[in-house]
């Protein structure tokens, strides 16, 4: 089969053997935002023409390629959702001479206040790790829009998204805080100070201003400012998760973000278990296995 | 005297009679960021040459003109600060043929965690309203960097800054939330829904993502999105203020912001009293009265 994880800013394809072994990987900066005029079929052909010509099938894709801005919309499936519910809502696209592919749907959830929430791409990563988890668990997928997902009875019961990564990026690039923030490696001390700060009185909007004031007073080195801001935001995210997630959590994300979140969780006295970040391809394989044989 | 409120983006000057009556007002988009090469004296001359030539004195200024980026730095005075403490730390600048002016210092404060905080400009507004307040009171000065100030024993005891206005502006202009946000008049319903949302579980970073998700699901009209975001942020600010400020608060800000905050405070069941937003000029007059006669 061909597994494709196709997001807003990147394209990743995997050629997978019948036994699930990944034979070959390709990636390109061909996110859906980089594709003009809806030429998704051409973009896919340009990346995996040889695999397709060799008759590799099926082609299963996840991520923003299945959004309204992508190739074709695969509508959100409402939580609680079992793996079968996701598999049953794959959406087919066809092109060229009898070429076809399947797009994974996103998931939606509603919180206690009835406010909707959405994910697209993460549902497939979750499918890739579900078998390793106990029947009841919380998984955190850190990122631009960090997700906290509750698994219950083997289903994706509900989830919450936090804008942590995007608020960090936007504040660093466009607010007064960014003026004092050179790009710098993680400063563990100041990251920890930020996480600690999130527990103080005053709320996040006050803690954000403290980044500037500490800088003005020479009490925060420029090289630590970005880590301090990151710690404040991640700290606030972690302090707002449901009580049932406090006992322990599984982390599924890029090594860099996984490291930050693990560190912050440790500091707050919460155990975490890290999952293989390459979960999307395993989720796509799982979806492929549920498809009818051709 | 000549009173000047000179901030980052605007210049406001007042010619004031001996009895405190404002005889004339002038304003220009000549904030300190618009002045090149430190030509502050020339800028001041260009605006009030005739008043100076008529011998009007003293000239007292407040705002960012007294910052490190301004004409000359008038260092922060630490809270608790009495009106006399501020008056004693006016910094003199001179130019041309025996021309002189005084710059008001900013204030600094430290919160429970020892983290510093600063204000510059607001201290003069506070001087302008102090006589109208009881000896113990909380004042909220909404803005880009919203201030909550505790008055105790007639002194400015301590304060906290919240980045509410800047986070709103930056998220609207640069985050994914802004894509669905045309400039629109205040939508009272959606502003109230945002304030209400701030009380829900999940924290601010989750509530921010809800703006997007509600939009995606057609459950938040585009014309209401900006008001909803504003309500969420102001709601979070109001929910994080100290308990001692919950009983009632004085509001000192532009009519537009004062209206938003008053509405949000009302919704949270907290009484507020609005103060005359033209307090800076009264504070400058108070500072002028403490200067030695020439």
- A168 — pLDDT class (breaks 50, 70, 90): very high
Burial class (CB in 10 A: 0-12, 13-18, 19+), A252: buried
Helix or strand or coil: residue A178? helix
Q: Is B156 among the domain residues?
A: no
CB atoms within 10 A of CB A50: 10
| CATH value at residue B110 | 3.30.420.300
Element (H, E) at A50: helix A40-53
Predicted pLDDT at A269: 92
| Distance between CA atoms of residues A281 and B213, nearest Å | 26
ipTM of the complex: 0.94
Question: Mapped to the 3 state alphabet, what secondary structure does B94-145 carry?
Answer: EECCCEEEEECCCEEEECCCCCEEEECCHHHHHHHHHHHCCCEEEEEECCCC
When CB atoms are compared, the residue of A162, A174, A210 closest to B209 is A162
What digits encode the pLDDT tens for the residues A29-78?
999 999 999 999 999 999 999 999 999 999 999 999 999 999 999 999 99
Inspect the interface and report whether the beta carbons of A162 and B113 lie closer than 8 Å: no
Q: Is A22 among the domain residues?
A: yes
CA of A108 to nearest chain B CA: how many angstroms apart? 9
A18: CB partners within 8 A, 6+ apart = none
Range of the domain at A58: 2-133+280-289
Inspect the interface and report whether the beta carbons of A205 and B117 lie closer than 8 Å: no
**Six-digit token string for A132:** 């390793």
Predicted pLDDT at B277: 84
CB atoms within 10 A of CB B29: 8
Listed range (A122-131, A242-251, B197-206) with the worst mean pLDDT: A242-251
Which chain B residues contact residue A236 at CB under 8 A? 203-205
Q: What is the sign, positive or negative, of the torsion defined by CA atoms of A113, A114, A119, A123?
A: positive
When CB atoms are compared, the residue of B197, B206, B237 closest to A205 is B237
Inspect the interface and report whether the beta carbons of A175 and B161 lie closer than 8 Å: no
| Distance between CA atoms of residues B57 and B53, nearest Å | 10
Inspect the interface and report whether the beta carbons of A240 and B205 lie closer than 8 Å: yes
Task: Using the predicted structure, report yes or no on whether residue A247 has a pLDDT greater than 80.
Answer: no
| Distance between CA atoms of residues B16 and A223, nearest Å | 47
What digits encode the pLDDT tens for the residues A188-230?
999 999 999 999 999 999 999 999 999 999 999 999 999 999 9
A contact test, residue of B199, B203, B219, B236 with most A CBs within 10 A: B203
Kindly state the average pLDDT of the residues A264-273: 94
Inspect the interface and report whether the beta carbons of A213 and B174 lie closer than 8 Å: no
Query: pTM (2 decimals)?
Result: 0.94
Give the nearest chain A residue to B67 (CA atoms). A216
Q: Is A30 among the domain residues?
A: yes
Task: Using the predicted structure, report yes or no on whether residue A292 has a pLDDT greater than 90.
Answer: no
Task: Using the predicted structure, report yes or no on whether residue A294 has a pLDDT greater than 80.
Answer: no
Predicted pLDDT at B244: 83
* Measured CA distances, B126 to A103, A155, B120 (Å): 60, 57, 11
| Nearest one of A167, A128, A152 to A242, comparing CA atoms | A152
What string of DSSP letters covers A102-134?
EE---EEEE-TT--EEEESSHHHHHHHHGGGS-
Predicted pLDDT at A293: 65
Helix or strand or coil: residue B186? coil
CA of B184 to nearest chain A CA: how many angstroms apart? 22
Kindly state the average pLDDT of the residues A17-32: 95
**Six-digit token string for A257:** 């973000």
A245: CB partners within 8 A, 6+ apart = A138, A148, A150
When CB atoms are compared, the residue of B163, B204, B210 closest to A115 is B210
What string of DSSP letters covers A213-262?
HHHHTT-S-HHHHHHHHHHHHHHHHHHTS-GGGSS-EEE-S-HHHHHHHH
Give the nearest chain B residue to A209 (CA atoms). B163
Going through chain B in order, the beta strands assigned E by DSSP cover: 2-6, 11-16, 22-28, 59-62, 77-78, 91-95, 99-103, 107-110, 116-119, 136-141, 146-152, 155-162, 249-251, 272-274
- CA torsion A142-A147-A151-A156 (nearest 10°) is -130
For tokens 């004062």, the residue is B258
Which chain B residues contact residue A146 at CB under 8 A? 205
Give the nearest chain A residue to B215 (CA atoms). A116
Q: Is B34 among the domain residues?
A: yes
CA of B70 to nearest chain A CA: how many angstroms apart? 15
Predicted pLDDT at A183: 86
Inspect the interface and report whether the beta carbons of B163 and A175 lie closer than 8 Å: yes
Inspect the interface and report whether the beta carbons of B200 and A115 lie closer than 8 Å: yes
Per-residue pLDDT of chain B (294 residues; tens, 9 = 90+): 999 999 998 999 999 999 999 999 999 999 999 999 999 999 999 999 999 999 999 999 999 999 999 999 999 999 999 999 999 999 999 999 889 999 999 999 999 889 999 999 999 999 999 999 998 999 999 999 999 999 999 999 999 999 999 999 999 999 999 988 988 899 999 999 999 999 999 999 999 999 999 999 999 999 999 999 999 999 999 999 988 887 789 999 999 999 999 999 999 999 999 998 889 999 999 999 988 765
Averaged confidence pLDDT in chain A: 95
CA of A165 to nearest chain B CA: how many angstroms apart? 10
Q: Is A189 among the domain residues?
A: no
Q: Is A102 among the domain residues?
A: yes
Inspect the interface and report whether the beta carbons of A160 and B202 lie closer than 8 Å: yes
Q: Is B76 among the domain residues?
A: yes
Inspect the interface and report whether the beta carbons of A170 and B166 lie closer than 8 Å: no
When CB atoms are compared, the residue of B162, B170, B216 closest to A174 is B170
Inspect the interface and report whether the beta carbons of A201 and B175 lie closer than 8 Å: no
Interface of B with A (CB under 8 A): 108, 111-113, 115-118, 145-146, 160-164, 166-167, 170-171, 173-176, 197, 200-206, 208-210, 213-214, 216-217, 219, 233, 236-237, 239-240, 242
Predicted pLDDT at B246: 76
| Distance between CA atoms of residues A41 and A4, nearest Å | 13
Kindly state the average pLDDT of the residues A253-266: 95
When CB atoms are compared, the residue of B176, B206, B219 closest to A240 is B206
Inspect the interface and report whether the beta carbons of B239 and A203 lie closer than 8 Å: yes
CA of B230 to nearest chain A CA: how many angstroms apart? 13
- A112 — pLDDT class (breaks 50, 70, 90): confident
| Distance between CA atoms of residues B143 and B135, nearest Å | 24
Which chain A residues contact residue B118 at CB under 8 A? 213, 216
Phi and psi torsions of A84, nearest 5° = -65, -35
Q: Is A164 among the domain residues?
A: no
Q: How many CB pairs under 8 A join A and B?
A: 145
Tally of domains within chain A: 1
């Amino acid at each position: 089969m061909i597994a494709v994880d196709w997001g807003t800013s990147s394209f990743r394809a995997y050629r997978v053997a019948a036994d699930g072994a990944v034979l070959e990987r390709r990636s390109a900066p061909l996110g859906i935002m980089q594709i003009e005029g809806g030429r998704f079929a051409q973009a896919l052909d340009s990346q995996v023409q040889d695999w397709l010509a060799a008759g590799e099938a099926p082609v299963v894709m996840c991520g923003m390629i299945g959004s309204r801005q992508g190739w074709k919309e695969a509508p959100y499936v409402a939580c609680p959702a079992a793996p079968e519910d996701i598999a049953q809502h794959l959406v087919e696209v066809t092109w060229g001479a009898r070429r076809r592919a399947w797009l994974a749907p996103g998931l939606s959830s509603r919180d206690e206040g009835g406010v909707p929430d959405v994910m697209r791409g993460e549902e497939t990563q979750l499918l890739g790790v579900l078998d390793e988890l106990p029947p009841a668990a919380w998984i955190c997928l850190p990122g631009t829009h960090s997700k906290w997902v509750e698994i219950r009875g083997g289903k994706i019961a509900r989830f919450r998204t936090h804008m942590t990564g995007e608020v960090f990026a936007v504040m660093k690039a466009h607010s007064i805080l960014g003026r004092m923030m050179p790009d710098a490696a993680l400063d563990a001390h100041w990251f920890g100070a930020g996480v600690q700060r999130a527990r103080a009185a005053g709320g996040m909007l006050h803690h954000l201003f403290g980044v500037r004031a500490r800088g003005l007073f020479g009490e925060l080195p420029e090289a630590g400012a970005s880590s301090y801001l990151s710690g404040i935001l991640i700290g606030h995210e972690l302090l707002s998760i449901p009580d049932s997630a406090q006992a322990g959590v599984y982390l599924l994300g890029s090594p860099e973000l996984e490291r930050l979140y693990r560190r912050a969780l440790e500091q707050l006295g919460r155990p975490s278990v890290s999952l293989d970040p390459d979960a999307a391809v395993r989720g796509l394989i799982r979806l492929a296995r549920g498809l009818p044989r051709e």
